[in-house]
Homo-oligomer: A and B are copies of this chain.
Amino acid sequence: MKFLHTSDWHLGRQFHNVSLLDDQKAVLEQIISYIEVNPIDALVIAGDVYDRSVPPTAAIEVMNAFVNQVCGELKLPIILIPGNHDGAQRLGFGSGRMRESGLHILSSFEDMINPVVIDSDIGPVAFYGMPYNDPEVVRHHFKQSVISHDEAHEFLAQKIGEHFVDGQKNVLVSHCFVDGAIESDSERPLSIGGSDRVSHEHFTEFDYVALGHLHQPQKKGEEYIRYSGSLMKYSFSEQHQRKGMTLVELDESGFKSATHIDLSAPHEMRIIEGEMQSIIENAQRDPKPDDYLLVRLQDKHAILNPMEKLRTVYPNVLHLEKPGMLVGVEQEMAQAKLARSEMDMFKDFFAEAQNDEISSEQEQALSQIIKQLSQQ
């Protein structure tokens, strides 16, 4: 029994005011090509299909075409959950009507306990989708005293566990931040101060856990608890990440293997560092001058119209940094600013808002709160 696990498509995303939709389409075509020649039983999308709750029409059309091809023509079931970027109700419209034809949008708590059961060579496999929800929603819906993401996910995983059927393998699809995982710049935080972290231990009863939210492919705690990573790179901090999807194989005893399958966008996201002169010279030998670039200019002196100059050789320079221009004290200050603690930032905010310094009692109380939050 094999299925593909993907997540974080973010269809319709803009990057430095450039639409990535054509790149996204090209990557989706790679997925379709894979499906056309490799026998698999399902495609899982673990949230953030779209980049926002009201996606642009063009992104909806791309998704619709994908779905028509995969479910309609290739007859492969798609199982997807909304992520924190998606609008669950909006995405979920008609989901009840689509299930018969192979598109399973699991967008509500009711859907969560009604798994998609797929018959395979190893018997029935149940896919449970946990739609992304803030702890407040879980607390309110189930009248439970859950406060953190961790407690919410523990509760939801238990809830699902009550519906396990003997003789079925169980796959969980969830969109959350499992503790200790590696972040990228392009994920929108689920909450501030670390309270979004979820322990992987709540998920150990499943045969496989298809996670979404984090953009770097990785396993968490167990071989069978994994992030597939995003469809493509969405920030320059991801320049060295291998993007793709995860081919999961289950057998009679449960999890068998997870294999990363590369997907590559037509334009890579890369960072180029150097002095203007050498960057322009080296560009001649660059095999992919159309990539989306962040250029870090090392020159120590001011340069007139640097963006214009760079775009003569690299048309898609999207962002320019000039760290070379920060010298001595200035550079130290900039670095110090980046390294400020929560306490320092709150003090600044307090001074700004109250027009007064924080008292030592207040500082002590705050320190306590920050400590508590960071332990959660």
Contacts and interface: CB of A to CB of B under 8 A. Distances in A.
Contact of A90 (B57, B71, B72): B57
A289 interface: no
A60 B107 CA distance: 13
A317 B96 CA distance: 40
A96 B57 contact: no
Contacts of A101: 96-101
Given A64-B92, A92-B64, A72 B97 contact: yes
A71 B93 CA distance: 13
Interface in A81-122: 87, 89-90, 92-103
A367 interface: no
A62 to B, nearest CB: 10
A101 B95 CA distance: 11
Interface in A20-72: 54, 57, 60-61, 63-64, 67-68, 71-72
Main DSSP-derived SS at the A contact region:
helix
A218 B92 CA distance: 36
A97 B71 CA distance: 8
6 contacts: A64-B94, A67-B97, A94-B94, A97-B98, A98-B101, A100-B101
A88 to B, nearest CB: 9
A96 B95 CA distance: 12
B94 A57 contact: no
A116 B89 CA distance: 27
Contact of A93 (B60, B89, B96, B102): B60
B103 A97 contact: yes
Q: Which among A57, A87, A93, A100 has the highest number of chain B CB atoms within 10 Å?
A: A93
Contacts of A92: 64
Nearest to A57: B89
B94 A98 contact: yes
Given A94-B94, A94-B97, 11 more contacts: A57-B89, A60-B89, A60-B90, A64-B89, A64-B93, A67-B96, A68-B97, A93-B93, A93-B94, A94-B98, A97-B97
A275 to B, nearest CB: 48
A95 B95 CA distance: 10
B89 A68 contact: no
A100 B90 CA distance: 21
Contacts of A64: 89, 92-96
Contacts of A102: 97
A57 B68 CA distance: 25
A100 B93 CA distance: 16
A101 B104 CA distance: 13
Contacts of A71: 97
B87 A67 contact: no
A66 to B, nearest CB: 11
Interface in A286-325: none
Interface string A244-286: 0000000000000000000000000000000000000000000
A364 to B, nearest CB: 43
Nearest to A87: B57
A357 to B, nearest CB: 44
Nearest to A63: B93
Contacts of A72: 96-97
Contacts of A96: 64, 67-68, 72, 101
Interface string A123-144: 0000000000000000000000
